[in-house]
Amino acid sequence: MIKAGIIGTGNIGTDLLLKLIKTDFIEPVIFAGRRMSSNGIKLAQEKGINVTDKGIQFFIDNPNYCDLIYDCTNAIDAKSHAEVFKKQSIKVIDLTPAKVGDLCVPTINPEAIKTRGNVNMITCGGQASTPLLNVISKHCKLNYVEVVSQIASDSAGMATRLNIDNYIHTTERAISEFTGCNNCKVILNLNPAIPQVDMQTTLFIKAEDIKFSSLNKDIYKTIQRLKEYIPHYELVMPPTINNDVLVLSIKVKGTGDYLPEYAGNLDIINCAAIEISKNLL
Amino acid sequence: MSNIIITDSSLRDGNHSVKHTISLDSIKRYCQAADSAGVPIVEVGHGNGLGASSLLIGEAAVSDNQMLCEARKNLPNSKLGVHVIPGIATIEKNILPAIDVGVDVFRIASHCTEATVTKSHIEYLSKNDKEVFGVLMMTALATPSELLENAQIMQDYGAQAIILMDSTGTYLPSDVEERISLLVDTLDIPVGFHAHNNLNYAIHNSIVAIQNGATYIDACIRGFGAGAGNAPLEVLLPVLDKYGYSVDINFNKIIHEADNVLNYLVPKVPVSAPVNILTGLNKLFSGFEKPIIKASKLNNIEYSSLIFELGNRKLVAGQEDLILEVAQSLNK
């Protein structure tokens, strides 16, 4: 069993806690926030989870309390938290856009968590797109990659909105790193429709020497692998080539643990974080 | 009566109707004409603004930088404006380079209910003493009170004016009256209106906006813009004059240029074709016209059924990928 702590008791942190409780290999030993009255803390208490409102101070006062930390706070706080956990040699999976550690995707570089003290989960668009792009890059020479995502407005909190530029830059960096293609563009659309829309991501790819049948087979294989840890990851527009542009589209529904099902964008980051944790077993 | 400030969007919105292929030479000629006629603000760029050249929306024939440099050179008097959609453009990648080129007016746009995504962009420009407007797009999809709430958010961030876009060309004059008057009565900053002509109300709606206190109006030469086009500048000017509003633009030069542009900028004067009437009625982005027709042909389906389904899905601007996906699913 991995003894894990969560810092940050907002939507992401609370959803992650419920997911950890369901696993049989991670034991959530502390849920650290700043307000006892927060919805997340109240829910954690109902579930019998150890909670604190001391935030990072709890970990300073109780060194080496756990083996692994999920940082679900924000980019600024996560940077200073990283220093605290580094001193205690506690592994950190960072779910904020702080980018202290290596960008990490379960199907590409899951071992990073073993060799590095701190790994970053990029963005929802990054987790949805880079596994496929990485595989595609092995079947052709990529000249240009474009990733367009739709998320429901109700799933985009103020932090996402304030950091929308950051989302774009971080996702673009991950695409470059995991495909070797520096020419890429990321677009994010917020759709306010009610009932809320699911997260959907479309890939547009310009490439040379596409070996379509072998590539197609590998795409389906990768999607099967992704479904193992993102249960509602689904291909909605199969790969097609039109005027030398490869297009495909996927949809991600959440599992509805704490966040509603339409918030696949938040769910996918937590699913990826848990999948990465398996490498510490 | 108060002075009306016109933004000429021909070189931005018009890019939608030619799949973003406006050439540097066309930009040069039209900027020279608009500048010499005294147009206050000339908006230039890809149809969806800075950074929008993409496989999703359409690749532009020339880069943002080339377009803006060419326009800047040929606009000694007029202000140079750009359209910026957060989620597509970022401060670092797109706004900073545009500042370097000498863009005067930044129009930061969001879907009508999503004003909070513009916070960092509007605040950044406002702090750096740039002229920055807040633009609410697709406004027919929100209620008047939602529009007011989102306009107030942009005003709080530092927007110096709010432009309501009827991006879908859906409004009747009474819709415009209700929304513009509410904003004018409540906001502390000027209000503007950007019409589309799907239901042949672009001029009428622009006048109603002004009668209810709007002071910024968007127009395009020959209505050169997405879908059924915008309020034609050469029509708007004399109509405003007849209503007694003063506009400091040389009408003779504009009416002359309205003929000239057919030779270099406007291959086809926009009309309300059936497809545009249907997108207007189903509250779809005017710029979807061409992708809708293309996806219908590709998938062998009627564009009317595609438009109806897309309307149900309530797409926002920038969701051309879903047009493909929905068209494929209808073909099954």
Of the candidates B264, B288, B314, which is a domain's last residue?
B264
pLDDT of residue A271: 98
The minimal CB distance from B116 to the residues A158, A188, A204 is found for: A158
Q: Are B109 and B69 in contact (CB under 8 A)?
A: no
Contact: A190, B321; criterion CB under 8 Å: no
Six-digit token string for A190: 């917020």
pLDDT of residue B2: 62
Contact: A146, B87; criterion CB under 8 Å: no
- Residue B278 and residue B243 share a domain: no
CA of B41 vs chain A CAs: smallest distance (Å): 27
- Residue B73 and residue B53 share a domain: yes
Total tally of structural domains belonging to chain B: 2
Six-digit token string for B162: 């709010």
Q: Which of A66, A72, A104, A124 is catalytic?
A: A124
**B269 located within any domain:** no
Six-digit token string for A166: 């950051």
CA of B207 vs chain A CAs: smallest distance (Å): 30
Ordered by start, the domain boundaries in chain A are 2-100, 124-264
* Angle in degrees, CA B118, B121, B127, rounded to 5: 130
Q: Are B160 and B192 in contact (CB under 8 A)?
A: no
CA of A160 vs chain B CAs: smallest distance (Å): 8
The minimal CB distance from A150 to the residues B93, B116, B319 is found for: B319
- CB proximity list for B4: less than 8 A, separation 6 or greater: B210, B215, B216, B217, B240, B245, B246, B247
Give the chain B residue nearest A236 (alpha carbons).
Answer: B325
pLDDT in tens, B81-123: 999 999 999 999 999 999 999 999 999 999 999 999 999 999 9
CATH number at residue B299: 1.10.8.60
Six-digit token string for A35: 């307000």
- Residue B247 and residue B157 share a domain: yes
Q: Are A210 and A160 in contact (CB under 8 A)?
A: no
CA-atom Rg of chain B in angstroms: 18
**B53 located within any domain:** yes
Give the chain A residue nearest B110 (alpha carbons).
Answer: A190
- Above 60 in pLDDT, residue B1? no
Q: Are A240 and A247 in contact (CB under 8 A)?
A: yes
Query: CA B21, CA A258: separation in Å to the nearest integer?
Result: 47
- Residue B157 and residue B11 share a domain: yes
CA of A54 vs chain B CAs: smallest distance (Å): 30
- Mean pLDDT, to the nearest integer, of A100-125? 96
What is the separation, in whole angstroms, between the first and last Cα of chain B? 58
Burial of A138 (0-12, 13-18, 19+ CB in 10 A): exposed
Query: CA B28, CA B284: separation in Å to the nearest integer?
Result: 32
- Residue B291 and residue B259 share a domain: no
| % of chain A with per-residue pLDDT over 90 | 93
Domain extent for B302:
274-331
Give the chain A residue nearest B112 (alpha carbons).
Answer: A192
Name the pLDDT band for A62 (thresholds 50, 70, 90).
very high
Number of neighbouring beta carbons within 10 Å of residue A208: 9
pLDDT of residue B332: 77
Query: CA A112, CA A120: separation in Å to the nearest integer?
Result: 10
State which amino acid sits at residue A60. Answer: I
Give the chain A residue nearest B90 (alpha carbons).
Answer: A165
- Above 90 in pLDDT, residue A100? yes
Give the chain B residue nearest A145 (alpha carbons).
Answer: B55
The minimal CB distance from A249 to the residues B113, B117, B325 is found for: B325
- Residue B157 and residue B61 share a domain: yes
- Residue B179 and residue B310 share a domain: no
pLDDT in tens, B316-326: 999 999 999 99
Cα–Cα distance list, A186 to A147, A156, A168, B83 (Å): 5, 17, 6, 18
Tokens 């209700």 belong to residue:
B178
- Residue B158 and residue B233 share a domain: yes
pLDDT of residue B67: 98
- Residue B98 and residue B126 share a domain: yes
- Mean pLDDT, to the nearest integer, of A151-175? 94
- CB-defined contacts A:B, below 8 A: 94
Superfamily of domain A2-100: NAD(P)-binding Rossmann-like Domain (3.40.50.720)
Of the candidates B264, B291, B320, which is a domain's last residue?
B264
B194 has catalytic annotation? no
Name the pLDDT band for A209 (thresholds 50, 70, 90).
confident
Instruction: Find how far residue A264's CA is from the centre of its chain.
Output: 10
Q: Are B214 and B193 in contact (CB under 8 A)?
A: yes
Give yes or no for a cis peptide into A195 (omega within 30° of 0): yes
Q: Are B245 and B203 in contact (CB under 8 A)?
A: no
By three-state DSSP, how is residue A269 classified? helix
**List of chain A residues whose C-beta atoms are within 8 Å of the C-beta of residue B325:** 200, 202, 236-237, 249
- Mean pLDDT, to the nearest integer, of A179-200? 97
**List of chain B residues whose C-beta atoms are within 8 Å of the C-beta of residue A146:** 54-56
Mean pLDDT of all residues in chain B? Answer: 97
CA of A228 vs chain B CAs: smallest distance (Å): 25
- Residue B58 and residue B161 share a domain: yes
Query: CA B8, CA A39: separation in Å to the nearest integer?
Result: 50
Contact: A146, B55; criterion CB under 8 Å: yes
**B305 located within any domain:** yes
* Angle in degrees, CA A218, A220, A221, rounded to 5: 60
Closest alpha carbon to A52 in A71, A67, A63, A38: A38
- Residue B58 and residue B30 share a domain: yes
- Above 70 in pLDDT, residue B263? yes
pLDDT of residue A248: 97
- Above 60 in pLDDT, residue A241? yes
Number of neighbouring beta carbons within 10 Å of residue B81: 27
Query: CA B221, CA B25: separation in Å to the nearest integer?
Result: 17
- Mean pLDDT, to the nearest integer, of B3-9? 96
- Residue B327 and residue B292 share a domain: yes
| Options 3.40.1410.10, 3.30.360.10, 1.10.8.640, 3.40.50.150; CATH of A124-264 | 3.30.360.10
- Mean pLDDT, to the nearest integer, of B176-198? 98
Query: CA B310, CA A137: separation in Å to the nearest integer?
Result: 32
Q: Please enumerate residues of A whose Cβ is less than 8 A from a Cβ of B.
A: 144, 146, 148, 150, 153, 158, 161-165, 168-169, 185, 187-193, 197, 200, 202, 204, 206, 236-237, 242, 245, 247, 249
**B256 located within any domain:** yes
